[in-house]
Structure 1
Amino acid sequence: MRYLPLTADDRAAMLGIIGATSVDDLFVDVPAEARLSGPIVGLPLHANELAVERHMTRLASQNLSAGSAPFFLGAGAYRHHIPASVDHLIQRGEFLTAYTPYQPEIAQGTLQVLFEFQTQVARLLGTDIANASMYDGSTACWEAILMAGRITRKSRAVLSGGLHPHYAQVVKTMARFTGDTIDARLPELSAEADDAAVIAAIDADTSCVVVQYPDILGRIPDLAAIAAAAQAKGALLIAVVTEPVALGLIEAPGNLGADIVVGEGQSLGVGLQFGGPYLGLFGCREKFVRQMPGRLCGQTVDAEGKRGFVLTLSTREQHIRREKATSNICTNSGLCALAFSIHMTLLGGEGLARLAKVNHARAQAMVARLAKVPGVSCLNTTYFNEVTLLLPQDAREVVRVLADRGVLGGVSLGRLYPGVEGLANGLLVTATETVTDEDIETFATELAGVLA
C-alpha cells in the first residue's frame, strides 16, 4: 500500500500558502523537453526480479571499470588506494550510518570522531578551524561565497578560469536565487595559471575571489599574491582544493593567506562510487566562525571533570536557526567523514607526505613518456599529479577510441567546456599511486596508435 499522507485538500492548502496554482508550478525550472509526458518508450512496464537482475548485469558488463583498465581520469574525482581497514572499521555497527544523529549529544563516539576530523581538516587546509564536513566540494564552494558575502556585505564573486567548470556551474545555479553577481572566466591554455587576470578583475565591489589549487588544468596558482590583492580591496580569498593529497607536498592554502578554504575530500578514504556520495571540506579563519555554515563539534569537561564532546555551533536550518540559518545544504556526510578520518589517521603526516611524493613521481613518469608520443605536448610547467596534454586533434574522439581499446585515458577539455573554442584539443590526465609503469606504457602505445 502506498503511503500518501496528504489529501487533495491538504495539497490545495499548501499550494495556496506558497502561491502556486498546481504541483506543476513547482517544476517550472525543469525544461519542458526534459519532462516525461508518459511512460518511457521501449521500457517494459513490469518484469520479474530475475529478468531485471539479468538485464542489469548485461548492461553493467558494458562498463569499463576503474580497476580493470589503465586509469588516468581525474578532474576532481581521483582513484587512490584505500586500505582495507578503512572499509572494515566504517562498517562496524556503532559507525554504520550515512548521517549524523539528530541528537548528537547522546552519541559521544560520533562527536569525538567529528572533533578529530575537524582537527585533521584544519591542519590539512592550514585554517584556524574546520567544520564537521559538508555535502561535497562544489556546494561547499557556493557556501563559501555566501559566507564571504555576509562578512564583506558585498555580492560580487570573481571565479578564476582555473576553477572546475562543474563547481562554477553550481555557483551560477545557486546565485540565480540570491542575486549575487558571478564574474566567471574560462581557462586559457597557458603554462601558468591566470593569476594576473584574476587580480585585475578584483574591484571595490568584490566580496571574494575563488581560486582552485591546483587548478582544473593541473597548474599551481600563486595564492599569496592573489590573497594580498584581494584583501587590499576588502575581498576574501576562497581557495578550492579538489585533490587533498596534493597538500601533503604543496603548501596549505591557509598558510598562503586564504581566508576560507573548501574542498572535496573524496581522495582520502572515499572511493569513486559512481560520483557520490562525496565529502565537502570547509575551513576558515577563527574570526569568521559565526558565519561558517554547518556544524562545529567541541571538546569540554562535564560536571565530574571528565572530557566530553558537544555540538558547539550548529547554524543550520535543521536546528535552532531555521530560516535564519547560514546554510540549508550543509549536509554532514558522516560516514564519508569517518572514512576520511580513518585514512588520514592511518597515513599520519609523514605518510601523507610520502603518498604525495609518490603521486608526483608517477605524474612525472607519465609526462616524460607521453611527451615522446608524436604530436603530444604537455601544457604545464608546474603540476602535482594532474596535467593537461595538447593533442593534434579533438580530444573527445581520442578518449572514446582509447576506451574502446581498454584504456581510460583522461578527461577531454571539450567535454568539460563544450563549444568553447580553443580547448577541444586539450586532454586532462592524472597519475596517482595506483598507476604502474606498465599502465603508462600501454597508454602511450595506444595513444600513439590513435593519433597515427
Structure 2
Amino acid sequence: MPFLALSPQERESILSFLGIRSEEELFSCIPEELRYAGSLSLEGPYDEQTLRARFPLPREAVLFTGGGVYRHYVPALVDAVAHRQEFVTSYTPYQPEISQGTLQAIFEYQSMMASLTGMEAANASLYDGATALAEAALMSLRIKGVRRILISRATNPTYRAVVRTYLQQVGDVEVHEIPFNPATGSMDISSLKSSLGSDAAFFFQNPNYFGVIEPIEEISRMSTGFALWGVVINDAVSLGVLSPPGTYGSTLVIGEAQSFGNPVCGGGPLLGFFCTTRDHIRKMPGRIVGLTHDHNGKQAFCLTLSTREQHIRREKATSNICTNQGLCALRAALYLSAMGPIGLRKVASQCASGARYLRKLLSAKGMETVFSWPFFHEFVVRMDEKTFERLEQEGIVPGIRIESFYPEISDGVLVTVTEMNTKEDCRCLLTRL
C-alpha cells in the first residue's frame, strides 16, 4: 500500500486533539540526548530496479550465533502447509469454532509441547520466550503469598530485562537475581539455598545462557522451599535429549520454541510457549484449545477456559496479551510432526556433538573456554575484540560478545553450533583465527 505523508492540516488536527502545541512537546518524554536534532540527509527517491541494484542480497556468512534465536533446518513440508492461505494469520479466529482446522492444529501443538516438557497443559502460544517468562512471573504473583521473584543471573539477559519491565509497576514485589558460579557457569547453589522461602517463586534457564546444563537434581531437591518454580528453555530442540522438566517436579516450563520450524528472520517472529500442571491451568495466561463434542455428538475443538484477555475485564484477566503466535505455533506443530521423536533426538544430538567437536578444535588451537561444566550446544570462549571484528569482516560471525550483559566476562564470546554448522564451517573458523 502507498505511503501518504501527513499534511500540515492533519498534523495540526492531531496536536489539537492531544491538547499540545508542537511535535517537540509530543516527544518531550524522550530524553533530549537521545533525539536527533538535525535533518536526515537522504538520497533518492529511486525506482524499484535502482534500489535492488544498490542493495544486493548480502553474501551468506558462516554463523555461530545463538543466544536465544537459532538457525535450524526447516523441512520443506513446513512451508508447503504453513503457506496455505487459510493458515496465514497470527490470530485465533474471533468465531473460533468455525475454523476447526486452525483449532485442531493449535490443539496438536499444545499436546506435543505438553508431552515434550512432561507437563499436563500448554497454552496456544505467547509472543516469545521473554514474554512467557514475564507472564510466568505475573502468574506466580496470583498465587497467594508470593512477593519475591528469584531469577538465575545465567538466564537470558533480555528475558530478565523484560521481567523487570513487566514488574516495575507492580507494587511490593522484589526481583532478586541468583548469581552463577564463575568457574562452572552454573547456578550458585549456596545463594539459592539462602533465598528459600514460601513467599518466593524461582525461575532458571536450562541449559542456561552460557549453554551450561544446570545441576537439576540439586535444584529439584530444594523445590519444596518455594511457592512454585519454573524452568526456562532457550532452545526447545534441547528437549530432544534432555529429561523433560516435568519429570523433576517443575511447576512451570516456559521458553522459546522458534527452533521448531521457524527460520531466523532478522530476529523474529518468535514463539513463546507456556506449560504448567493441571492445578494451575486456570491461572495460566494465553488461550487454550480444548476437545469437546457438538450438539450432534461429533468431536469438535473449541477455546476452553476462556475467561482471559479481552473476554473479561482487564483487571481480572490472566493476561492482557490479546493475541498469540498462531502461525508460528502451526509451523512448530508441522515441524514436530515431520521430525518425530527420533528425528528431534537426532537433531539435538547433532547440535551437541558439533559443539563438542568445535570446542575440541578451539582448545587445541589454544583458545580458552570460560566455564568447565557440561553443556548442550553453546559455550563461552575468550576472544579479543580485534580478532572478533576481523572474523566478521571475513564473513565469519564467531558468536555473540556477552560483555554488555556480563561485564565481568569482558572478552567472552558465546559460540553456538547447530546441525546447520558443518565440520567444514568449524575448520574454516579455526583456520581464520
Same structural fold, with TM-score higher than 0.5 when normalized by the shorter chain: yes
**For 1:262 and 1:199, how far apart are their aligned partners in 2?**
20
Runs of 5+ consecutive residues of structure 1 not aligned to the other structure: 448-452
CA 1:150–1:126: 2 relative to 1, 3 Å: same
User: 2:208 corresponds to which residue?
Assistant: 215
User: 2:93 corresponds to which residue?
Assistant: 101
Q: CA deviation at 1:217?
A: 0.8
**What pairs with 1:108-257 in structure 2 (closer than 5 Å)?**
108-179=100-171, 180-185=173-178, 187-204=180-197, 206-232=199-225, 234-257=226-249
**For 1:399 and 1:316, how far apart are their aligned partners in 2?**
47
**For 1:347 and 1:109, how far apart are their aligned partners in 2?**
21
| Amino acid paired to 2:157 | P
Runs of 5+ consecutive residues of structure 2 not aligned to the other structure: none
**For 1:301 and 1:271, how far apart are their aligned partners in 2?**
36
Q: CA deviation at 1:385?
A: 1.0
User: 2:290 corresponds to which residue?
Assistant: 298
Q: CA deviation at 1:400?
A: 1.6
Aligned residue for 1:266, secondary structure, equals: coil
**For 1:158 and 1:356, how far apart are their aligned partners in 2?**
29
- RMSD, aligned CA: 2.7
Segment of structure 1 superposing worse, 105-114 or 380-389? 380-389
User: 2:257 corresponds to which residue?
Assistant: 265
User: 1:434 corresponds to which residue?
Assistant: 420
Q: CA deviation at 1:377?
A: 3.3
User: 1:450 corresponds to which residue?
Assistant: none
**What pairs with 1:371-386 in structure 2 (closer than 5 Å)?**
371-377=363-369, 379-386=371-378
TM-score normalised by length of structure 2: 0.90
Aligned residue for 1:414, secondary structure, equals: coil
User: 1:53 corresponds to which residue?
Assistant: 51
CA 1:178–1:389: 2 relative to 1, 3 Å: same
Q: Deviations over 1:56-94 (max 9, x none)?
A: 615x54xx5xxx232211111111111111111100122
Q: CA deviation at 1:128?
A: 0.9
Q: Percent identity?
A: 37
CA 1:119–1:321: 2 relative to 1, 3 Å: farther
- Preserved CA contact (<8 Å) 1:223 1:258: no
**For 1:330 and 1:284, how far apart are their aligned partners in 2?**
20
User: 2:386 corresponds to which residue?
Assistant: 397
CA 1:124–1:51: 2 relative to 1, 3 Å: same
Segment of structure 1 superposing worse, 351-360 or 244-253? 351-360
Q: Deviations over 1:119-167 (max 9, x none)?
A: 0111111111000000000011000001011114322111102101111
Aligned residue for 2:303, secondary structure, equals: strand
Segment of structure 1 superposing worse, 312-321 or 293-302? 312-321
Q: CA deviation at 1:364?
A: 1.5
Which of residues 342, 361, 364 is equivalent to 1:369? 361
- Preserved CA contact (<8 Å) 2:119 2:246: yes
How many residue pairs are counted as aligned between the two chains? 427
**For 1:324 and 1:189, how far apart are their aligned partners in 2?**
43
| Amino acid paired to 2:337 | T
Q: CA deviation at 1:203?
A: 3.8
User: 2:42 corresponds to which residue?
Assistant: 43
In the alignment, is residue 31 of structure 1 matched against residue 31 of structure 2? yes
- Preserved CA contact (<8 Å) 1:228 1:257: no
CA 1:185–1:398: 2 relative to 1, 3 Å: farther
Which of residues 411, 414, 417 is equivalent to 2:403? 414
CA 1:294–1:407: 2 relative to 1, 3 Å: same
Q: CA deviation at 1:333?
A: 0.8
Aligned residue for 2:364, secondary structure, equals: coil
**For 2:278 and 2:228, how far apart are their aligned partners in 1?**
14
User: 2:430 corresponds to which residue?
Assistant: 444
TM-score normalised by length of structure 1: 0.86
Which of residues 262, 273, 277 is equivalent to 1:281? 273
Segment of structure 1 superposing worse, 327-336 or 190-199? 190-199
Q: Deviations over 1:107-129 (max 9, x none)?
A: 11111111111001111111110
Aligned residue for 2:143, secondary structure, equals: helix
Aligned residue for 1:273, secondary structure, equals: coil
Segment of structure 1 superposing worse, 201-210 or 95-104? 201-210
**For 1:405 and 1:80, how far apart are their aligned partners in 2?**
23
**For 1:121 and 1:173, how far apart are their aligned partners in 2?**
27
CA 1:410–1:2: 2 relative to 1, 3 Å: closer
| Amino acid paired to 2:169 | F
CA 1:284–1:52: 2 relative to 1, 3 Å: farther
Q: CA deviation at 1:202?
A: 2.1
**For 2:196 and 2:184, how far apart are their aligned partners in 1?**
26
Q: CA deviation at 1:11?
A: 8.1
**What pairs with 1:15-30 in structure 2 (closer than 5 Å)?**
30=30
CA 1:32–1:105: 2 relative to 1, 3 Å: farther
Aligned residue for 2:288, secondary structure, equals: strand
CA 1:305–1:281: 2 relative to 1, 3 Å: same
